[in-house]
Structure 1
Amino acid sequence: MGNPGSDTEMSQADRDRMAENAARASNFLKAISHEGRLMILCHLSAGEKSVTELEELLSARQAAVSQQLSRLRLEGLVTPRRDGKTIYYRLADDRPQKIMEVVYDMFCKPDSDG
């Protein structure tokens, strides 16, 4: 006899929903798995930045930064705002912020014991 939450007792609709969620999660993780995109999200976690500011922070050319921003925009992780000729970007919602906090805790936080 299976557990109430076992895979064999899931409805087809539940399995389909799980597959859709897995695909969304996979696309999200692929989008943030690039070092440049991860750095952009890290900088945007501190607040809105212009494309020029991001270029300077990343020491990267405008074309490279724009390409990475385009992918992040496609995945719905960042939102642009135009002010005259300047385009600013910010995080679209709290998903990338939450991930950046976990990444910081796992990889960037100074060791507490030394």
Structure 2
Amino acid sequence: MAQLRTSAGRACALLKAMANEDRLLLLCQLAEGERNVSELQQNTDIAQPTLSQQLGVLRDEGLVDTRRDGKYIYYRLAKDEVLAVMQALYASFCGSVPRASASSRQSRAK
């Protein structure tokens, strides 16, 4: 029972972090593969200050990882659990299931 309670706590933390429209839009984008901040802003129409704030929340909660390439910061899903939840949400609400690119999955494995 203790292990089940721990798992329930982790699931609640994940769902709480996802329970924001902007963060969910960002996670939807990242479920399709790694994106830089400019791509995320362009694809979601989230204003820069809000985008930065919500990406910070996702980073603090451990849902996304980052890497720097020159002047760009790229974001990707940090955990397979996040991708699994996003795939379930896509299937239920969007009609198709995203698949993270192989490079995105490999980056998470490191």
- TM range, smaller chain: 0.7 to 0.9
Does the 8 Å CA contact 2:35/2:76 hold for their aligned counterparts? yes
- Runs of 4 or more consecutive aligned structure 1 residues displaced over 6 Å after TM superposition: none
Q: TM-score, structure 2 length as denominator?
A: 0.79
Structure 2 counterparts to residues 1-114 of structure 1, below 5 A: 14-15=1-2, 17-109=3-95
Cα drift, residue 74 of structure 1: 1.5
Q: Structure 1: which 5+ residue stretches go unaligned?
A: 1-13
SS at match of 1:36: helix
Cα drift, residue 39 of structure 1: 0.8
Q: Structure 2: which 5+ residue stretches go unaligned?
A: 97-110
Q: Distance in 2 between matches of 1:70 and 1:19?
A: 27
Cα drift, residue 93 of structure 1: 2.2
Cα drift, residue 24 of structure 1: 1.5
1:7 corresponds in structure 2 to none
**Which entry has the higher C-alpha Rg, 1 or 2?**
1
Q: Residue by residue, what CA displacement relative to the aligned partner does 1:18-77 show, whole Å, maximum 9, x if unpaired?
A: 333222211100111111111111111111100111011111221111111111111211
Q: Distance in 1 between matches of 2:69 and 2:43?
A: 20
The structure, 1 or 2, with the larger RCO (C-alpha pairs under 8 Å, 6+ apart) is 2
Q: TM-score, structure 1 length as denominator?
A: 0.76
Q: Distance in 2 between matches of 1:97 and 1:25?
A: 13
